[in-house]
Amino acid sequence: MAPKGSQLQRDMKISDAFFEMEISKLNINVSQMFNKINMSLADFTLELSQLKTNVSQLSIKVAMLEKQDVELKKELADLRNKFLVTNREIRSILADLMTEISKLKKGGNYTEPPGAAPGQEWDHVAPYDIQILQVPEEDEDCSSGHGPIKCQCPAQWKRFRQSCYYFSSVRKSGAEAGRSCATNDAYLVVINGAEEQMFIRISAQNTRYWIGLNDTTSEGDWCWADGTDYSSNLKFWRTGEPNNQNDEDCVVMEDTGEWNDEPCHTQQYWICEKSAQPLP
């Protein structure tokens, strides 16, 4: 029979070997885990540095876009100004052309081409004035010296330069139309030049309106509603007008924009005019 002690020694040796194996297994696991952690950390560091690069590239792009935005805004403002200046120039050339046509007609030097419809001479300028008058009216200073104070018009009235205009939506006789304007501190529209003529023609949108011209007091002596001198003022009569065909002492602007005398008792739409006011 073997001594008890040696059995115990054998058993202890076995368990020692077992523990050593377990510890070495654990060591391997721990070192594998450390390896993994180190690898993830490296990945993470790389990603972080890429993110930093991206952010700095984006910041540069944002700064460039902001700069472009400022430059484009400036370019836009310049273009807008140029457009307004050109528009003003074209408007004044058109006005000169209209003035010229009006003078030729008055001097009898203008003959319509054979078969031309009345008013066709205006067809040369008509397509352009509509376009240029789409541009919003520039602000006008209505202060008398201590300005600028913007010119303003009541609701329902349109402003052009320093005047306000009302286009009626019902028809009345010439006299009633004039009284209706007077009730509103206004008078039937007085056309003082080609630009105003242009503005009225376009705003009238092919509707016939009474204007503030009549020869009710004395046949052939034309008078403007506000006392403006008739002979020195521009005229936009249709060829052959005024003809007093049926005792015609009042004047309409036809759809072509030209003027024609009509009997005052006929019912027409009308246009009132009054000065714009310096309202804050």
Contact residues toward ligand BGC (CB under 6 A) are 241, 243, 245-246, 248, 260-262
CB of residue 262 vs ligand BGC: minimum separation in angstroms?
A: 5
Choose the binding region for Ca ion from 51-59, 149-157, 203-211, 247-255 (rule: CB under 5 A).
Answer: 247-255
Based on the shown chain and the rule CB under 5 A, indicate whether residue 261 belongs to the binding site for Ca ion.
yes
The torsion angles phi and psi of 22, rounded to 5 degrees, stand at: -60, -45
For residues 73 and 265, which CB has a smaller minimum distance to ligand BGC in the complex?
Answer: 265
Task: Extract the tokens encoding 276.
Answer: 């714009």
CB of residue 223 vs ligand BGC: minimum separation in angstroms?
A: 18
For residues 118 and 154, which CB has a smaller minimum distance to Ca ion in the complex?
Answer: 118
Range 97-106, long-range pairs (CB < 8 A, 24+ positions):
97/124, 97/125, 98/122, 98/125, 98/194, 98/197, 98/198, 98/236, 99/193, 99/194, 99/234, 101/125, 102/194, 102/234, 102/235, 102/236, 103/234, 105/235, 105/237, 105/239, 106/235
The region that residue 61 occupies, defined by phi over 0 for left and psi between -120 and 50 for alpha, beta otherwise, is alpha
CB of residue 263 vs ligand BGC: minimum separation in angstroms?
A: 7
> For Ca ion, which residue has the nearest CB?
261
162 binds, among Ca ion, ligand BGC, none (CB under 5 to 8 A by kind): none
For residues 57 and 243, which CB has a smaller minimum distance to ligand BGC in the complex?
Answer: 243
Based on the shown chain and the rule CB under 5 A, indicate whether residue 246 belongs to the binding site for Ca ion.
no
Measured CA to CA, the distance from residue 263 to residue 244 in angstroms comes to: 8
For residues 153 and 253, which CB has a smaller minimum distance to ligand BGC in the complex?
Answer: 253
The torsion angles phi and psi of 270, rounded to 5 degrees, stand at: -145, 165
CB of residue 242 vs ligand BGC: minimum separation in angstroms?
A: 8
Based on the shown chain and the rule CB under 5 A, indicate whether residue 260 belongs to the binding site for Ca ion.
yes
Beta bridge partners of 275: 163
- Whether residue 172 contacts residue 280, with contact meaning beta carbons closer than 8 Å, is answered with no
206 binds, among ligand BGC, Ca ion, none (CB under 5 to 8 A by kind): none
Measured CA to CA, the distance from residue 94 to residue 257 in angstroms comes to: 14
Choose the binding region for Ca ion from 175-183, 197-205, 256-264, 270-278 (rule: CB under 5 A).
Answer: 256-264
- Whether residue 218 contacts residue 232, with contact meaning beta carbons closer than 8 Å, is answered with no
121 binds, among Ca ion, ligand BGC, none (CB under 5 to 8 A by kind): none
For residues 215 and 262, which CB has a smaller minimum distance to ligand BGC in the complex?
Answer: 262
Asked if the bond preceding 242 is cis, omega within 30° of 0, the reply is yes
Q: Which residues bind Ca ion (CB under 5 A)?
A: 241, 243, 245, 248, 260-261
